[in-house]
Amino acid sequence: MLLGSPLGQVAQAGRDAAVARIAAAIDTARFVAYTPSDLNIVNGQVQAASKQRIRADLETLRRDFQGLVTYSTSGGVEQVPGAAAALGFRAIILGVWDPTSTEEIDTAIQLARRWPQLVVAVAVGNETLLAQRHAWPLLRAAMQRVRRALPGVAVSTSEPFYYYLDGTPADFIASQDFLLPSVHPLFQPWFAGASTTQAIDFVVEVANLLAKKTAKPILIKETGLPSGPPGSAFSPARQAAFWSGLCKRWPHRAGLGVVYFEAFDHHWKIENARLEFGDHPEEAYWGLYRADGQPKLAMEELRKLWRQPDRADRMKEPQTCVAVSHSEGSPRPHRAVPGRGS
């Protein structure tokens, strides 16, 4: 299809509308990364999420958030849009975990068509290139399939930030309607000796560098610090300090936002991480809520900030991150844990 042809012009108009829609969602909804609290995936065996628990989870999250980012459309997660619509959520970015799964892609397309006012984007793959699950041409083809089926819905994927800053693959940014990177200080080689303030500085710097790289909307999909395990370098207080500091310092810029990562603790992620990366017990403590739905200190501190009159508008919009100078080329992670979200 030629861009200058009538059909090409219609397609471009649809893409422009999709980009404008996700940009508006980033500016007006506070997003949280959500995996149902009763979903379990260990050694490839899935214990599906239940409708009842999804409803209870979303009732908890609706107090604090208006937008959701999911990681798959299988294992019971396909029930999320219906429950979210009933509870008044304003935006969902649907995740497709496996770009080779015709069933999962078809489900995402069906859900977007069933709830067109709610589903603002589809993210095909999560750290697919990082984990070397599939090559870029296959991932790109899956994104193109979704785009053809959903011309009014923004399409993206999610990889660590340096894929975007390095411009590798060459058409990586061009193939996406908006950017959905992860920016984890924890996985940087310098992190062990860093302060929480330095971790915040890093996230803000990367966000600013990404904004200089492209005019496309940017939503940081994953960042943060875990709250444990007890006796480690991580604690509820440090997690709270990170998120409070990020909220106070996030660049207030249209089309630039951050997803609060993540909703609930998931203890099965310890075993998933061990299979590829050894023992990393902190993987069970990323949640802003405990596994039983009780808010952690970070959430309690965030609520205080959100209630402040001078921050009400800012924190309604998920614009909450940090920036760091880029003097020695793209920073690279020491390690990353694929599949944290699902």
**Could you identify the residue written with the tokens 């207080």?**
237
pLDDT at residue 308, rounded to an integer: 84
**Could you identify the residue written with the tokens 């969902």?**
92
pLDDT at residue 320, rounded to an integer: 41
Task: Note the pLDDT tens digit of each residue in 35-65.
Answer: 999 999 887 789 999 999 999 999 999 999 9
Closest-CA residue to 80 (of 102, 110, 103, 50): 50
pLDDT at residue 280, rounded to an integer: 84
pLDDT at residue 271, rounded to an integer: 85
Task: Note the pLDDT tens digit of each residue in 253-307.
Answer: 999 999 999 999 999 988 877 776 678 899 999 999 999 999 999 999 999 999 9
pLDDT at residue 33, rounded to an integer: 98
Residues of the chain with pLDDT under 70: 1-10, 276-277, 309-342
Where are the domains positioned within the chain? 6-316
Question: Is the CB of residue 90 less than 8 Å from the CB of residue 29?
Answer: yes
Q: Determine whether 170 is exposed, middle or buried from the number of CB atoms within 10 Å of its CB (0-12, 13-18, 19+).
A: exposed
pLDDT at residue 8, rounded to an integer: 63
Closest-CA residue to 182 (of 130, 244, 116, 122): 130
Determine how many CB atoms are found less than 10 A away from the CB of residue 55. Answer: 17
CA dist 26 and 259 (Å) reads: 9
Alpha helix (H) residue ranges in the chain: 6-28, 51-62, 80-86, 102-114, 136-149, 161-166, 196-213, 236-249, 269-277, 297-307, 312-316
Rg, Å, the chain Cα set:
19
CA dist 83 and 87 (Å) reads: 6
Question: Is the CB of residue 216 less than 8 Å from the CB of residue 177?
Answer: yes
Question: Is the CB of residue 172 less than 8 Å from the CB of residue 154?
Answer: no
pLDDT at residue 112, rounded to an integer: 98
CA dist 103 and 99 (Å) reads: 10
Q: Which CATH class is domain 6-316?
A: alpha beta
CA dist 210 and 272 (Å) reads: 30
pLDDT at residue 12, rounded to an integer: 82
Residues with Cβ < 8 Å from 211, sequence gap 6 or more? 218, 251, 253, 256
